[in-house]
Structure 1
Amino acid sequence: MSSDVVIGEHKEEEKQEVFEERSLNGRKHSRQKLGRSDSLDIESGHVHGHRGHSFKTKEWSVILHLAFQSIGIVYGDIGTSPLYVYSSTFGSKINHEDDILGVLSLILYTLTLIPLIKYVLIVLKANDNGDGGTFALYSLICRYAKVGLIPSQQIEDQEVSNYKLQLPNSRTRRASKLRSALENSLSAKYFLLFATMLGTSMVIGDGVLTPCISVLSAVGGIKEATSKMTEGKVVLISVVILVCLFMVQRFGTDKVGYSFAPIICVWFLFIGGIGAFNFFKYDPGVLKAIYPKYIFDYFQRNKKQAWVSLGGVVLAITGTEALFADVGHFTVRSIQISMCTVTYPALVLAYTGQASFLRKHMEDVEETFYKSIPKPLYWPTFGVAVAASIIASQAMISGTFSIIQQSLSLGCFPRVKVVHTSTKYEGQVYIPEINYLLMIACVGVTLGFRDAIKIGNAYGIAVVFVMTLTSSFLVLIMIMIWKTNILAVMAYVIVIGSVELIYLSSVLYKFDQGGYLPLAFAAVLMTIMFVWNNVYRRKYHYELDHKISPEKLKETILSTNTYRIPGLGIFYSELVHGIPPIFNHYVSHVSALHSVLVFVSIKSLPISKVPQEERFLFRRVDPDELHVYRCVVRYGYSDVRSEHESFEMMLVQKLKEFVREGHAMKSVVDRNEEEKEEEEESAASIEQEQQSRTWEEAAEKDVQVLERAWRAGVVHLIGESEVIAGKGANIGKKILIDYVYNILRRNLRQTDKVLDIPHRRLLKVGMAYEL
């Protein structure tokens, strides 16, 4: 069915003729012939004012400033990994002195391959107009291949400046074959959506586990200072810190954001300096770990146990996904600079120094980090470690909020309240419901596991799963979008892909030792996301099948039983293509319609942001005397719906511009046609001037009608559809729709709260959909 409705085929674009001419005010207009296809029904409209939204060239002073800020936001998680990596890898015992060199070699090569080469040099280039993360990759693929499952695409979407597909002119056969295979395979489309949901769920799982393991590891260091500090007290202090951390989330990170970078910089200075001190004091010979032979020797000596220990080594790269997910707050260059100049060298020194210490103190492996600290620096390091662990937790919690905001925009998550906590930084959001659920989950995990090593078993699965999914999406982008040489793609798969799969096999081995936890989180989250998205798509297809035709709409409005009353009526629906069936339901019960009607559909595009001037897409319903319009309001998944700007005011203002430009374009087309006639030039000129005045008068008349309707009062009409399983539905479908979906819908926010519509001017229209 979707293949019949999807808009954006190249053939359709070729059929449309575009007329361009400068109007009297000097602005260029473009108009597509609308007689053959109506893209808001399959709708067509006009989008103007292209504005590039990709990264602009920034001065080096700005890049360096952003690089400094990124240290505090991006690297808190990976920076606190030295707290627990060696203890998680070896457990309580080191079998052989050279095993330390083997593990150090594994850590160094893993840090180089995954964070440095894969993410900093390759994955960061796959950003979506500056935004990163699993949804950004999925959105990028959706733009280059029609793999979306909701048939709401339009030709005009590709005119949005951020949507531009900067493809080379010559398409390779390999890229075309892959694109065709994805577009023609329903299972491939479902798999991509499933993989995106899985990656999102795992990152949210990170948001639960990062605070637990970071805070518990940092606070546990106090046991080295006093024997009175028992495990129970450490757990209790950690829980108090976690509760306080989640309670202050509602204030946002804007006010404390500038303190993050200095603290993490001090942390990197401490761990790097202590690492260098231990390296020279205990055993500079650990530099031999650069030789990969020690990795093979380590596996040869320990065999299965060495493979199992990889689940601890992988904790050295936790938080690496934040490099990509947070790129939207900075720039690619700034993150590359901060990683290469600060983070990577500090981590290499930290792990090398700890290895040197362990060569002389193998019995202290369970408390490697705190045991290796020189006594005069113990308390300062402990204080900075606790602060760094809180910052690492803050970064993942904020990332979780951003990811859920993206999921909401693409119809993959139930409605929740999104609060923008900063007027300066759009990406800083807070979601109350999710915040308290995360807090309960974190406290439960901390009280249940009580040990950083056990939590590390769960943490590793979430980390490696997300990395593996990112690599899978990246291979598709390499082949289909970048047109990368097949040898380079194969090299990436063999080197990076095989390493990640080996790590994934290792962490899955610890499934019964806590590894089940992120998979349980993912199962619950994916169930919620799948149910919501599945019913959302069913509803859309139902409205598409039962939409009101333009002829039926005219007949209804012109009916003798229907009265037009002063005022502006705004109908909201999720249907992009046409008039939703709920309008007919409304008219059959209320025989009065407002003098001006606007059918509004809020739509999310598979891009991060839509420029303000390209947000509204209008189409007028013929005949003009009906004063009926259709409008698609387009947002990107990272766009902020400003609480300080009235949506109603913006809609009316943009509608006025559309009315004026519509008449101006008609005048342009008529003049173009008349200029083809070379005879009677002077008469034609006079006639053109008369027609221009006629179009201007008609435009002002329509604008006055709109202004009078607005002053008479605005009523917002929202279709609240009750979704039930149709007759003859199987038991699974009934449970899915009648129970699970409706429970989620009733207990979460309704449309009017999401759109912030004033209740005194709100009218809900109910209708049952049998799916």
Structure 2
Amino acid sequence: MTDSVHVLKERKVSCATLRRVDSLNLEAGIVSNVSSHNVKVGLKTTLFLAFQSIGVIYGDIGTSPLYVFASTFPNGIKNNNDILGVLSLIIYTILLSPMIKYMFVVLKANDNGDGGTFALYSKICRYAKISLIPNQQAEDTELSNYRMELPSNQSRRAQKIKDKLENSHVAKLFLLLITILGVSLVIGDGILTPCISVLSAVSGLKRSAKSLNQDAIVGISVAILILLFSVQRFGTDKVGYSFAPIIFLWFSFISGIGLYNLFKYDFGVLRAFNPIYIIDYFKRNGKEAWISLGGVVLCITGTEAMFADLGHFSVRSVQISFTGIVFPAILCAYSGQAAYLTEFPHHVHDTFYESIPDPIYWPTFVVAVCASIIASQAMISGAFAIISQSLRLGCFPRVKVVHTSAKYEGQVYIPEINFMIMIACVLVTISFRTTAQIGNAYGIAVVGAETITTCMVTLIMLIIWKTSIWRIILFFVVLGTMEATYLTAVLYKFTQGGYLPLAISFFVTIIMGLWHYVHKERYMFELRNKVSSDFMRDLTMNPNIKRIPGIGFLYSELVQGIPPIFPHFISNIPSVHSVLVFVSIKYIPISKVAMEERFLFRQVEPRDYRMFRCVVRYGYKDSMEGPDEFEFQLIEHLKEFIRQEHYILETGPSELLTAQQLNVERLSCSGQLSDDVKVDEPAPSRVHNEESLEQSTTTRAFSEPNHLATFNGSTNSPSRIINGPTQGAEDEIQFIQKAMEKGVVYLLGETEVGAEQKSSWVKKIAVNYMYDFLRRNFRQGEKIMSIPRSRLLRVGMAYEI
């Protein structure tokens, strides 16, 4: 006990710290000095990650030379000068998009090292209150990972845009839908990438095996795809380590072949670095040149993977690997193919394989097949990462997320999604059969995802980075114009296969949008019907309610009170555990939450009933612990909370706040929270007065010494207040420890959500049938939280939204 008191005194919890925070922030104030999670890694680790990233990120963009020229000239080359125009387009597209846009701008917009569309959205949510679910709390800003270093002082422009976003429901909804659409396009990209990459590589057999028909090519491709998805379960770490040498060899092959063709056939194609050839190309071909952009844009396929897969690596490692290896290798490959086509323009439909020197044809073919398999890995890994993020933010049905590497964060595998993408890839390959139609579909997914990324990064530059307006205009106009031009070209081929990614995106967007809508409405229902303080007081005086040994964890997502499922439990099972913790699982818009900052507590009145509220905060990259570790961490933090609560009383009357100061601070704090959660108070009497229930344990410690003295079995003597709490804290801790030894029971509400009777038929179909189908066929809550079935108690309840 003496050691515990000594540790508490060392913390030096000041009244100033306690005054400025809400009670749930008591522990957050203690750990406010936790270091940031953006840990700088050494040069050796960076170089290793750069090498590993070659096998995970760049397979897609690295294999694009297999089909770009064939997709650009589907009807053959009419003028050799067109080759220079297309090569110039390829060079400047790669330079502007993956090199300048992603390497030097987009990668810096990461969310604490994590990338992808939802990382951008979470970054904006953290700065502006645009989340549709009103669970923002002042305590969240105390997280070490929450703070953002702004490169410039706050400007009026940024504040005005921020205010407009926060005050416009339409803007909030639009930004969420754009984010979901971006995620859907990346998933569609992950489906199309394996199809076109593997088909393109296997088609090389036709050069030596003339007897092979297209059916055989499709069959071989399907077999390779099934094998590819079968190894995903081994994880990015192992897959990337084994794939990196192969992709490195692939880049060596294509750069070497490119240089060979460049010097052998026409070194003069390097004139294409002059952009005047782009202008000449459009003047000469007009509409045909514009349509051909749908093939040119395939040179940047997989670019979004560099950002979506960023959580697997680091910004510096990705920059090193791209600028040092990938960029020069693919420029050599395209230049060499252009030089070859100046001599053999009729070989444009199979440029890559025709341009390979005979002695190295078979080694190149084997490496090409392996590289095409790995190319698929890039977008599959990106799809896993981005779905994992959307799951944490309540925008995707519950699925199992497996963290495949204990060494590197963010490397995940999702079995259900892996199986679904595999089935989709097989069906697309069998249906389309050739790379021509898949290429038409592929372009829409690529350009659509990149356009959304450009818009969201521009918004970040406006309201978070506060970049110079001229730089923002330059960034948005140049890249926006390029991407808009490409988008119109790929949409022109809508009927020739371009409808596929839009259909996939529409389907995924409907699922994600519906899930998030019901998730939000369910939260609002619980917020409107949270339990009143009067109900809790009546509960203590009800002789029919029995206390049973042990600890009960009642799960809920509600962070502003006690959920309505609790009275439903009591009405069905008239008993309460000797210690009851209302556990609120909360995902906040940051990537990681330190364990020291994860648990926030508040004691529910009356105190002697030993009921606590606990908010457990996770970032979208955090994985939930197993039941044993979770129980241990929660109980240990609960004990620390009790020690802190009693230690505050031990500071003595000289440090106590006056009642007037306390009331002012309390009103200030409650006002801050009310700004975060703007919900109309409903009529039912069961809804409690927020201020009365939200009083902090700190507040009660200062303003109600008589109550505390009664709780500790002492009189209102100042000496008893100072000397008593330490022993009282140890008694409470021993009681909780004994309750834990009796066992922990998980109480989980099985809520069925349905539309109100007065709802429209569209809403009834969406909620009563579509959402219910998703809920029943995806994982249930206890599986996601790894709750042992032997200690699980479920009670059903129906919500009408």
TM-score interval, smaller chain: over 0.9
CA contact (8 A) 1:55 1:331 kept: no
Residue aligning to 2:735? 705
Asked if 1:557 corresponds to 2:587, the answer is no
- Cα distance in 1 for partners of 2:325, 2:731 equals 64
Match of 2:222 among 214, 239, 242: 239
Of residues 30, 36, 41, the one that matches 1:48 is: 30
| Correspondence for 2:240 among 229, 232, 257 | 257
Post-superposition offset of 1:413: 0.6
2:789 corresponding residue in structure 1: 759
Q: Specify the code of the residue in structure 2 equivalent to 1:713.
A: G
Q: Which runs of 5+ in 2 are unaligned?
A: 659-716
- Report the 3-state secondary structure (helix = DSSP H, G, I; strand = E; otherwise coil) of the residue aligned with 2:753: strand
Distance 1:566 1:102 in 2: 79
C-alpha separation in 2, matches of 1:600 and 1:164: 25
1:76-108 alpha-carbon deviations (Å, 9 max, x no partner): 111111111100111140111000000000000
Against the structure 1 CA distance between its residues 720 and 561, is the aligned structure 2 distance closer, same or farther, given a 3 Å change threshold? same
Choose 83-92 or 650-659, whichever is displaced more.
650-659
Distance 1:669 1:252 in 2: 56
Give runs of aligned pairs for residues 369-408 of structure 1, distance below 5 A. 369-408=352-391
| In the alignment, structure 1 residue 348 sits paired with structure 2 residue 331 | yes
SS in 1 for 2:650: helix
Could you tell me how far 1:691 is from its partner in structure 2? 4.7
SS of match in other structure, 1:226:
coil
Alpha-carbon deviations, 1:625-657, whole Å to 9, x = none?
Answer: 121100111111111224486322221122112
C-alpha contact 2:530 2:562 (8 A) present in aligned 1: yes
Q: 2:89 aligns with which of 93, 97, 106?
A: 106
Match of 1:216 among 196, 199, 204: 199
Deviates more, 1:378-387 or 1:396-405: 396-405
Alignment of 1:84-103 (within 5 A): 84-103=67-86
Secondary structure in 1 matching 2:243: helix
The alpha-carbon distance between structure 1 residues 530 and 234, as it changes in their structure 2 partners (threshold 3 A), is same
Is it true that 1:320 corresponds to 2:320 in the alignment?
no
- Tell me, in whole angstroms, the C-alpha distance in 2 between the residues paired with 1:488 and 1:589: 63
Which AA in structure 1 matches 2:201? Answer: A
Aligned to 2:729, the other structure's residue is in SS state helix
Which residue type is aligned with residue 726 of structure 1? E
The corresponding residue for 2:55 is 72
Q: Residue 731 in 1 paired to residue 761 in 2?
A: yes
Corresponding residue of 2:634: 651
Name the residue aligned to 1:198. 181
Alpha-carbon distance, 1:256 to partner: 3.5
CA 553–423 in structure 1, closer or farther in 2 if over 3 Å, else same: same
Please give the residue correspondences for 1:282-361 in structure 2 after superposition, counting only pairs within 5 Å.
Answer: 282-361=265-344
Partner Cα separation in structure 2 for residue 44 and residue 588 of structure 1? 33
How far apart in 2 are the matches of 1:181 and 1:401?
33
Identity, in percent, stands at: 56
Matches of 1:568 and 1:562, distance apart in 2: 16
Distance 1:432 1:468 in 2: 29
- Give the structure 1 partner of residue 643 of structure 2: 660
Secondary structure at the counterpart of residue 609 of structure 1: coil
- In 1, are the aligned partners of 2:27 and 2:641 still within 8 Å (CA)? no
* Alignment-derived partner of residue 27 in structure 1: 11
One-letter amino acid of the structure 2 residue matched with residue 48 of structure 1? I
Aligned to 1:519: 502
List aligned pairs for 1:156-171, cutoff 5 A. 156-167=139-150, 170-171=153-154
Deviation at 1:669, TM superposition (A): 7.0
Find the aligned partners of 2:623 and 2:376 in 1 and give their Cα distance.
Answer: 24
Instruction: Return the alpha-carbon distance in structure 2 between the equivalents of residues 30 and 533 of structure 1.
Output: 41
Deviation of 1:25 after TM superposition, in Å, equals 4.9
- For the residue of structure 1 that corresponds to 2:339, the secondary structure is helix
The answer to whether 1:462 aligns with 2:462 is: no
Q: 2: distance between equivalents of 1:718 and 1:520? A: 37
| Secondary structure, counterpart of 2:656 in structure 1 | helix
Residue 140 of structure 1 corresponds to 123
**Distance across 2 between alignment mates of 1:242 and 1:475:** 37
Give the drift of 1:692: 4.8
Aligned to 1:722, the other structure's residue is in SS state: strand
TM-score in terms of structure 1 length: 0.92
Q: Which aligned pairs between 1:611-690 and structure 2 lie closer than 5 A?
A: 611-643=594-626, 646-668=629-651, 670=653, 672-673=655-656
Segments of 4+ in structure 1 off by > 4 A?
21-25, 30-40, 687-692
What residue is the counterpart of 1:548 in the other structure? 531
Deviations 1:309-337 (A, max 9, x none): 10111110011111112222222122111
User: Offset at 1:38?
Assistant: 6.1
Once residues 264 and 25 of structure 1 are traced to their aligned partners in structure 2, the CA distance between those partners, rounded to angstroms, is 58
CA apart distance, 1:409:
0.5
1:23–1:664 contact (8 Å) kept in structure 2:
no
**C-alpha distance in structure 1 between counterparts of 2:651 and 2:123, whole Å:** 37
CA distance, structure 1, for counterparts of residue 112 and residue 446 of structure 2:
25
Partner of residue 267 from structure 1, selected from 237, 243, 250? 250
Q: Find the aligned partners of 1:423 and 1:133 in 2 and give their Cα distance.
A: 21
- 2:395 is equivalent to residue 365 of structure 1: no
Deviates more, 1:328-337 or 1:417-426: 417-426
Distance 1:468 1:383 in 2: 35
Q: CA deviation at 1:260?
A: 1.6
Match of 2:772 in 1: 742
Q: Residue type matched to 2:767 in 1?
A: I
Deviation of the 1:509 alpha carbon: 0.8
Using the TM superposition, name which of 352-361 and 386-395 deviates more: 386-395
Q: Name the SS for the 1:414 alignment partner.
A: coil
Q: How does 1:175-186 map to 2 (within 5 A)?
A: 175-186=158-169
Q: Secondary structure at the match of 1:254?
A: helix
Could you tell me how far apart the structure 2 residues matched to 1:231 and 1:587 are?
66
Instruction: Identify the range of structure 1 (156-165 vs 55-64) with the bigger mean alpha-carbon deviation.
Output: 55-64
> Helix, strand or coil: the match of 1:289?
helix
Cα pair distance change 1:236/1:534, threshold 3 Å: same
Give CA-to-partner distance per residue, 1:203-227, whole Å, 9 cap, x none. 0111100110111111111111121
C-alpha contact 1:45 1:156 (8 A) present in aligned 2: no
Q: Following TM superposition, by how much is the alpha carbon of 1:689 offset from its aligned partner in structure 2, in angstroms?
A: 8.2
Q: In terms of mean alpha carbon deviation, does 427-436 or 463-472 score higher? A: 427-436
Kindly provide the amino acid, as one letter, of the partner of residue 267 in structure 1: W
> Aligned in 2, Cα 1:663/1:287: closer, same or farther, shift over 3 Å?
same
**Partner of residue 475 from structure 1, selected from 450, 455, 458:** 458
Unaligned runs of 5+ in 1: 1-20, 676-686
Distance 2:590 2:67 in 1: 38
Indicate the SS of the match to 2:431.
Answer: helix
Residues 636-694 of structure 1 show CA distances to partners (whole Å, capped at 9, x for unaligned) of 1111224486322221122112211222233347552399xxxxxxxxxxx99865542
Which whole-Å CA distance do the structure 2 matches of 1:314 and 1:257 have between them?
26
User: What is the distance in 2 between the residues matched to 1:85 and 1:203?
Assistant: 20
Take 1:22 and 1:365, find their aligned partners in 2: how far apart are those partners?
Answer: 79
The number of equivalent residue pairs is: 739
State whether residues 22 and 28 of structure 1, in contact with CA within 8 Å, keep that contact through their aligned partners in structure 2. no
Q: Per the alignment, do residues 669 and 198 of structure 1 end up closer, same or farther by CA in structure 2, a change over 3 Å counting?
A: farther
Q: 2:558 aligned with 1:575, yes or no?
A: yes
TM-aligned CA deviation for residue 743 of structure 1: 1.1
Distance 1:62 1:688, change over 3 A: farther
Distance, in Å, in 2 between the alignment partners of 1:573 and 1:669 is: 37
* Cα distance change on mapping 1:360 and 1:674 into 2, 3 Å: closer
Q: Distance in 2 between matches of 1:426 and 1:56?
A: 12
Q: TM-score, normalised by structure 2?
A: 0.89
> Residues of 1 paired with 2:58 and 2:175: CA distance?
29
Q: Give me the whole-angstrom Cα distance separating, in 1, the residues matched to 2:657 and 2:175.
A: 52
Rounded Cα–Cα distance in structure 1 between residues aligned with 2:603 and 2:28: 11
Say whether the 8 Å CA contact 2:650–2:723 is kept in structure 1: no
Distance 2:107 2:346 in 1: 41
Amino acid at match of 1:659: I
Separation in 1 of the partners of 2:657 and 2:240?
62
Deviations 1:249-299, CA, capped at 9 Å, x for gaps: 223243343122211111111101110000000001101111111111111
Q: Which one-letter code corresponds to 2:30 in the other structure?
A: H
Contact in 2 for aligned 1:97/1:359 (Cα 8 Å)? yes
